[in-house]
Amino acid sequence: MQLLLLVIGFGTVLAGYVHPEQIHLSWTEEINQMRVTWVTYLNVPAQAAYRPILCGNVPTPSNFTLINGETKKFHEGSHFWEYQHIHTAVFNNLDSNCWYEYKVKNLGVWSKTYMFNGRTPDTNATFRDVNNPFSLVIFGDWGTGPNGQYTKHLLGEETLTRDYLGILHMGDIGYNLDSDDGKVGDTYLNMVESIAATYPYMTLPGNHEKANNFTHYKARFNMPNNGANQGTNYFYSFNLGPAHFIMYNTNPYFDDMNTTADADLETQWIANDLALANKQRDIRPWIITLAHHPLYCSQDWSNEDSIEDCGEQPAVLKPIFEDLFYSNSVDLALQAHVHIYERDAPIYKNETIPSQYDSQNMHINPNAPVYIVGGAAGNRLGTNVPASKTPQPWARFLSNDYGYGRLTVFNKTHMLWEQFSVLQLTEIDYVWIIKDQARYKPVLLN
């Protein structure tokens, strides 16, 4: 009996060392690929297996293909024994018509099997589903703890019942990945596994990732490598159907965080990337930027943090990015950091720029980027900040409910942004961005 209890107890302790954990997917810089990243505590070879199970609507019986990946030993904390092994493997030659299932291995033990959609970003014009709508879940500032649980529950239900293409997380991930010798990061990545192992989970760094030169952020995620980012996951772009997405790192533009990245290198890369995207505007008319710190949000003058987040920091970013985005006709600038949801009108130089037609929930042929702050997913630091009592003239909707956004790109002319409250269990805001072919061209600044 005692022996049995001992064996069970030992088994429980070992469980963490047996099952692969923190499984998450991401798109790569290549077409028709999906990368999986996972963690073991034993130093075992990185092995994964995948197979198509449904192509079109036809079941596709096939055996698993076993593949080998790569392993990095990662020192999580301050003690010599706090190592984990971060594995990655790439599923190749995916067919965008197919659903796949996959699993990852730790020594002799396979993880549970997850499914993913073979539709990946396409560096070329031809996206098989160019006329099919696709949706992404988008938010920033999501962590563990009671506040994080709100969004977790709804995301779980939502993502089980809807066909999303991916999840975009605009920084402040887990609060903090490095806290408690990395255990908070481990807990967070296990918390999001059910969705991040099913949908590519694309990240960019917020201020909460900056510890030790973003060590944990760089080690735990694998975002597309574009050469300029040197594999740091700091900034990259990808195309989905008729839309071009740019994910970038706002941290190096602030003095106290200027320790890791070359800000000029990043700015130059963004300018080049925008120029390239603009050359392909006839096939990919939408350009969407995502970053952590906002260029625009309404200040709450009673709150010092808000004065910094919506006043001082935007004052640093605007001279660098505003003309770049405006002159390249960026359609939508998504931001986070402030623990709030705020949707603004098309803005340039602190002014609302009229579209051909504007209403509360629609802009037809906008003439400047629409700015949105989506930092309400559920930070671990405390409750969300109150919505500003002094919304700026360009503010269209504010809420401090926990929640997340959904972007649906219907086609070359129609895009829909929606915000969901996990407190009210309903959609609280939406905006249509609509434009016709004539508006694909960049604006010329004097």
For Fe ion, the binding residues (CB under 5 A) are 172, 206-207, 337
How many chain residues interact with ligand NAG (CB under 6 A)? 21
- Binding segment for ligand NAG (CB under 6 A), chosen from 17-25, 102-110, 194-202, 258-266, is 258-266
- Cα separation of the two ends of the chain: 84
258 near ligand NAG (CB under 6 A): yes
* 327 interface partner picked from Fe ion, ligand NAG, none, CB below 5 to 8 A per type: none
Q: At 424, phi and psi to the nearest 5? A: -90, -5
How far, in Å, are 22, 139, 347, 361 from residue 352 at the CA level? Answer: 43, 24, 5, 15
**Per CB under 6 A, does 328 bind ligand NAG?**
no
| Stretch of 91-99, 259-267, 321-329, 335-343 contacting ligand NAG, by CB under 6 A | 259-267
Element (H, E) at 346: strand 341-348
Cβ 174 to ligand NAG shortest distance, Å: 20
Interatomic CA distance for residues 313 and 63, integer angstroms? 53
Answer for which of 71, 109, 414, 442 binds ligand NAG (CB under 6 A) is: 414
Classify 294 as helix, strand or coil: coil
Q: Which of residues 159-198 bind ligand NAG (CB under 6 A)?
A: none
Residue 354 touches ligand NAG, criterion: CB under 6 A: no
Between residues 196 and 345, which has the closer beta carbon with respect to ligand NAG?
Answer: 345
339, amino acid identity:
H
Verify cis geometry, omega within 30 degrees of 0, for the bond prior to 176: yes
DSSP 311: I
Please pick, from the candidates 312, 393, 437, 443, the single residue that binds ligand NAG as defined by CB under 6 A: 393
By CB under 6 A, is residue 92 in contact with ligand NAG? no
Out of 101, 410, 423, 428, which residue is the one contacting ligand NAG (CB under 6 A)? Answer: 410
As measured in angstroms, the least distance from the Cβ of 279 to ligand NAG is 13
Bridge partners of 201, per DSSP, are: 167
Instruction: Please say which residue, 280 or 411, places its beta carbon nearer to ligand NAG.
Output: 411
Contact 434, 413 (CB under 8 A): yes
Residue 362: helix, strand or coil by DSSP?
Answer: strand
Q: Which does 149 bind (CB under 5 to 8 A by kind): ligand NAG, Fe ion, none?
A: none
Q: Which does 359 bind (CB under 5 to 8 A by kind): ligand NAG, Fe ion, none?
A: none
Take residue 134 and report the two structure tokens written for it.
Answer: 């696709």
Token pair of 57 as six digits: 């609507």
Using the rule CB under 6 A, is 212 a contact of ligand NAG? yes
Per-position b or e across 109-132, b if 16+ CB within 10 A of its CB = eebeebebbbbbbbeeeebeeeee
Residues in contact with ligand NAG by the rule CB under 6 A: 61-63, 124, 126, 212-213, 255, 258-260, 262-264, 350, 392-393, 410-411, 413-414
